[in-house]
Chains A and B, each alone.
Chain A
Amino acid sequence: MSENAMDLLKSEAKNLNFYYGEYQALKNINLTVAEKRITALIGPSGCGKSTFLRCFNRMHDLYPGNRYDGQITLYPDDVNILNPKIDPIEVRMRIGMVFQKPNPFPKTIYENVAYGLRVRGISNRRKLDEKVEKALCGAALWNEVKDRLNSLAFNLSGGQQQRLCIARALATDPEMMLFDEPTSALDPIATASIEELIAQLKEQVTILIVTHNMQQAARVSDYTAFMHMGEVVEFADTNTIFTNPSQKRTEDYITGRYG
């Protein structure tokens, strides 16, 4: 479904190792992320897919004892975002993230979406209004909440909360968005709407998504990486991974023999 040759590169992990203290969680990972495409990371629990994802916005910097080795390059400016000289805040301002469990702030719907903008120093009300509306439209939530922007985010359903979190990340126009199992806490109907949304979002943003739902990877992604025990076992376009994997371990996982 995707022509590799035509895709531009947005990001690239090169010889990436990651350690939680002494424990090596990621082993020599090489992977490319194509611009305005969806790249999925699949694999059994504990394979390191979330750990890998969280390298992209330097989330591991929040906790002591974590160490990166190798690089993740972000294009077009060819900067290694793991370079200790690069402030993780700069990386997080360029790369947004949506978490496993919806985590809206205990604030109003409006303030949730506006938060990233406020962090960036935007306080002009008209500008905020405009960006909040755009982000909520982008997250397919505007019609449901436009009459109650000032009600608390907790009053929304789980699926709506997750779309709010997507809108929150979207509001600041990130170059890339990370999704960490964004539907694992949601029911099937909410899951379907989030999947549909993610599929639409690739028009405007590069997406890297972790999922342990293989059907989800098959449905939404253009590229898929199968990870196992901290390594990328196989990485190819999604079609190849699911119909004609070259590695035995990939095939075993996809056909449900383990994981």
Chain B
Amino acid sequence: MPGMSVEVMRGLIARRKRWDIIFSIIGLFAMLGGVVTLVALIAAMAIDGLPRISWDFFTSFPSRHAAKAGILSAWVGTTLVMMVTVLSAVPLGVAAGVYLEEYATKNWMTDLIEINVTNLAGVPSIVYGLLALGLFVYQLDLGQSILAAGLTLAILILPVVIVATREAIRSIPGTIREGAFALGATKWQTVSQHVLPYSTAGILTGVIIGLSRAIGETAPLITIGALTYIAFLPDTPFKGEFPYVSFDWLTSAFTVMPIQMFNWVSRPQEEFHYNAAAAGLVLIVMTLIMNALAIYIRYHFRKRIKW
């Protein structure tokens, strides 16, 4: 027999369970506070911006007349800059992650590098902007170009890509690696035929998370000299005549979505604020699409892999 009567026990349980209820109420309000604010922000932007969204909005350059202004140069700029970012951050970041995880000997040096890489992910983006201004724009003489912007955002997301790569690699069980080595595979065969393919989902997720951060960055791009008013498109990468591809667009001046938004918001006229809201909506949708892609990729690849 327990040392207390059943009545006393029930009273005790009821009192203790009161905290369950109290906390669930506090938690609910905390959650609502966050979600409602976010929804309200997006709703307010949608109300202001939706009426402005039309085909013309995507195919027009910015203009002095709010009603005629569009985001053509901004979304093209964002897309091209992101392309440069992906093409430079992914090979660099994945290679660095693979090296640190599979090749580097574990000692205080690699520990130090690991701590630094993780910390770099938290460095304010304006600092990267300053670094890029000195290194890419002046030192390497890339100018205020798409190439310089893409590389700037690439070093910004590099830590994210490296950390994601390492975590994805670490989640592969050691027995799988040993299985490959036991069959006589070299380190490179093991990395390229097992480690990388099995960690693709994790790496891509990290890349997309990095990109959705990069796509909204304004400060570092303003620092390196992105323009706020661009009424022309960069040279097209594909040509009708030989050699069919051209890299002139890399050196072109550019603007990107968040800078275009910033520009419109800072205008005194109310109409431009609606344009900014509409551009904000487009940017959010772009980010959502990227995140949806990340979720799909994770789901698609994980289906094949059960450790």
Contact = CB atoms under 8 A, between A and B. Distances in A.
Interface string B150-181: 00000000000000000000000101111111
A154 B306 contact: yes
Contacts of A106: 176, 198, 304-306
A106 B305 CA distance: 6
A168 B183 CA distance: 8
Contact of B189 (A57, A104, A119, A165): A119
Contact of A89 (B173, B186, B193, B198): B186
Given A106-B198, A106-B304, A154-B306, A115 B180 contact: yes
Interface in A82-126: 89, 92-93, 96-97, 99, 101, 103-106, 115-116, 119-120
Contact of A120 (B173, B175, B184, B198): B184
A49 B20 CA distance: 52
B175 A103 contact: yes
B181 A92 contact: yes
A154 B176 CA distance: 13
Contacts of B180: 105, 115
B179 A105 contact: yes
A115 B306 contact: no
Interface in A17-71: 57, 59, 62, 64
Nearest to A91: B184
B178 A92 contact: no
A149 interface: no
Nearest to A120: B184
Interface string A152-172: 101000000000010011001
Q: Is the interface of B mostly helix, strand, loop or mixed?
A: helix
B106 A59 contact: no
B184 A89 contact: yes
Interface in B172-229: 173, 175-186, 189, 193-194, 198
B105 interface: yes
Given A103-B175, A106-B305, A119-B189, A92 B105 contact: no
Given A99-B175, A103-B173, A105-B176, A115 B181 contact: no
A64 B184 contact: no
Contacts of A165: 179
A101 B175 CA distance: 8
A92 B306 CA distance: 26
Contacts of B198: 106
Nearest to A155: B306
Contacts of B304: 106, 152, 154
Interface in B248-307: 304-306
Contact of A103 (B106, B179, B185, B193): B179
Residue among B178, B181, B182, B305 with the most chain A CB within 10 A? Answer: B182
Interface of A: 57, 59, 62, 64, 89, 92-93, 96-97, 99, 101, 103-106, 115-116, 119-120, 152, 154, 165, 168-169, 172
Interface of B: 105-106, 173, 175-186, 189, 193-194, 198, 304-306
